[in-house]
Homo-oligomer: A and B are copies of this chain.
Amino acid sequence: MNRIYLDTAATTRVDPEVMKAMEPYFTRDFGNMASLHSAGRDAENAVEKARRLISGKVNGKEHRLVFTSGGTESNNFALKGIAFANMGKGKHIITTRIEHDCVLNSARWLEKQGFEVTYLPVDRQGFVSTDDFADAIRKDTILASVIHANNEIGTIEPIRELGKIAHEKGVLFHTDACQSFTKVPIDLKKDNIDLMTVNSHKIYGPKGVGGLFIRQGMRIDPLLHGGGQEFGYRSGTVNVSGIIGFSKAADMMKENHVEHMAKLRDMLIEGALEIKDSWLNGPSGNLRLANNAHITFKHIEGESLIIHLDLKGIASSTGSACSSKTLEPSHVLTSLGLRPEEAHGSVRFSVGRDNTKEEIEYTIGALRESVETLRKISPLR
């Protein structure tokens, strides 16, 4: 059975061309960039080219792209690095209730170290209010971190406006763009972004690679201390092949991929909503991430639906408690105001540039069947 992969928001396969671009750096140009000999110099040149290419995608002229091991490291680095370097100025941080766990749990850890954190609410579609944001800023606020596009429900936040407000009040602005990078246009300068997290494995690049854009001249403590690689911001032997793969992946993402995904997304949403007692979470249209369809089916438990679909060859994801280690329903869904029983019944389909219309049609049919079956064996009505 040919599998249908609708979980690109979790991770993507490595594109064969990305693979080809990486290969020489595993076995041939494998030198340590910190070495003096020519093997090290070849590696360095390749990495600097990759850095320029990725920076060029987001108008990163005023920023330094520091390569990391992924989105999680970048977000930990941004929050903790800014916090520890700037605690003389203040110990208050603003973020939202719908951040990725790596932002939320970094923030919670910082609370244990004596920082104060405001977690902004969102509306029913997942939007942060600019008024709430402005009101939350205090004299001792050092950093605001707002996710660019939400990984569960696909809501694209008004980061340009939020960044502007932050800057007017002298607060640094960080955004987690793991989901949006290459899918939503980003201009670090115009969008008023001081720090931005990106990663590779959501855009057909390898896992274990990411980056943090840091506005030049900013005070930030490293998260990884050591040999002083990456301009002293991030130590550790540089993952040359991974970085080359990341930049090749970024290079390959094109406008028409995004359009293709948006079309399939809308097709899938439309088909899914024809099933009764269902609704879309997050906004529709331009303010929704191009690859994300997030649907709630009443009286359905998400894990069962996911596995049912898996048996039919379809890979998807759920915010149901039963799928999480904590047995808590997704914090993003409850932040929207969904009741736990509603959160249980929600499924995320995230399409990719390889998916076809036929696959989406098959998925809609399979979904209809599975929901019916599960509702039939359910005691709830």
Contacts and interface: CB of A to CB of B under 8 A. Distances in A.
How many copies of this chain are found per oligomer?
A: 2
Contact of A69 (B28, B73, B240, B317): B73
B207 A239 contact: yes
Interface stretch (A8-16, A51-59, A166-174, A291-299): A8-16
Contacts of A108: 225
A37 interface: yes
A224 interface: yes
Given A10-B32, A225-B102, A242 B208 contact: yes
Contact of A106 (B32, B225, B310): B225
Interface string A293-320: 0000000000100110110001111100
A98 interface: no
B235 A102 contact: yes
Contacts of A310: 36-38
A201 B237 contact: yes
A10 B35 contact: yes
Nearest to A9: B32
Contacts of A258: none
Contacts of A237: 10-11, 70-72, 199, 201, 207
Instruction: Give the 4 A-B residue pairs with the shortest CB-CB distance, closest first.
Output: A102-B226, A208-B239, A69-B69, A72-B236
17 contacts: A7-B37, A10-B40, A13-B26, A30-B207, A36-B310, A36-B323, A37-B314, A37-B316, A38-B315, A72-B224, A72-B226, A72-B235, A75-B226, A101-B235, A102-B225, A105-B235, A208-B239
